Amino acid sequence: MGDRPRIERTVGGMRSILHHGRHNVRVAKRNGPLFTPDAIEVARAALEEIGQVGRHLGIQAHNNECATLRFEAYEPGYSGWEWHAVLACAPGSDHLTVNELALMPGNTALKAPEWVPYDQRLRKGDLQPEALLPPNPDDPHLKDKDGRLVLSKKGAKAARQRWEQGKFGPRSAYAQHAANPCSSCGYFLPLGKPIGKEFGICANEYAADGHVVHERNGCGAHTLTPIAEKHTTLEPFDDEQY
């Protein structure tokens, strides 16, 4: 351990001095103290106190007095990650300071996806029976009326757009194959304001029962669908009997 560089640090990384035995080593000013083999050893020695350090990957200079030295990280479960050591050197000084040590993802590192706020992560069907989803305070689809929240014009418009483009809208597969529209069906219950009379609830248990449907939607269970004619069964005729 006699030739092994040793680092002395104060809390916050205020000061660090490279030692060999009992004598201080002045780092050569070739390309600056931060870009020498000794700087690499200072960074490596500091990182080895907290993790498993691989080969040196490079140096990123922030300015003439501060740089980040990068090393491979040999940590289980952190493939592609790197150890970073931020070193500093005061102007006119040869002494190196270890300011910060960090484990950082490299270009090939497996990383968690970017965090998305809870209210933006929800999708249709995510809400479970015991879950709570309070309204967003600045939700433009709601407005205050007499101390309670009701659907705003923007909220009604958004709902109409969803339903028009949905499974029971005017351009749905049902509408394209239907002989008659929902508006003339006895099971069509118009909604009225604020949504509009062009939408209603289907009350046919064999069709879109309980769903909002557009008046130009349709299906084969329309109340105008003709009843199939009854066929009379005839007895076979044997002409040899006559």
Mean pLDDT per block of 10 residues along the chain (242 residues) reads 40 34 38 89 96 95 92 93 95 92 92 82 85 88 94 95 95 94 96 92 96 96 88 71 62
17 and 101 belong to one structural domain:
yes
* Same domain? 148 vs 195: yes
Q: Give a yes or no: residue 182 inside a domain.
A: yes
Domain contains 228: no
Q: Judge if 156 and 95 occupy the same domain.
A: no
Q: Is residue 154 part of a domain?
A: yes
Based on the domain organization, do 207 and 145 belong to the same domain? yes
| One domain for residues 100 and 152 | no
Same-domain pairing of 150 and 60: no
CB 142 within 8 A of CB 150: yes
Residue 8: strand pairing partners: 17
Instruction: Please say which residue of 85, 105, 125 terminates a domain.
Output: 105
Residue 145: phi and psi, rounded to 5, are -140, 110
Q: How far apart are CA 151 and CA 165, in angstroms?
A: 20
Residue 37 falls inside a structural domain: yes
Quote the tokens at residue 218.
């349709």
Q: Is 185 left (phi over 0), alpha (psi -120 to 50) or beta?
A: beta
d(CA 209, CA 201): 8
Q: Residue 240 falls within a domain, yes or no?
A: no
Bridge partners, 7 (sequence order): 18
Give exposure, 179-191, as e/b (b: 16+ Cβ within 10 Å). eebbbebebbeeb
Determine the number of helices (DSSP H) and then strands (DSSP E) in the chain. Answer: 4, 12
Q: Which domain does 79 fall in, by range?
A: 6-105
pLDDT at residue 19, rounded to an integer:
36
Distance (Å) of CA 239 to CA 233, 236, 242:
18, 10, 6
Evaluate whether residue 72 is within a structural domain: yes
Q: Is the pTM of this model over 0.95?
A: no
10 shares its domain with 63: yes
pLDDT value at residue 241: 65
Identify whether residues 23 and 88 lie together within a single domain.
yes
Q: Tell whether 146 and 81 lie within a shared domain.
A: no
Number of domains in the chain: 2
Q: Please report whether residue 19 resides in a domain.
A: yes
Q: Note whether 203 and 151 are same-domain residues.
A: yes
Determine, yes or no, domain membership for 114: no
Tell me what pLDDT residue 30 has.
43
Residues 10 and 94 in one domain: yes
**63 backbone dihedrals φ, ψ, rounded to 5°:** -165, -165
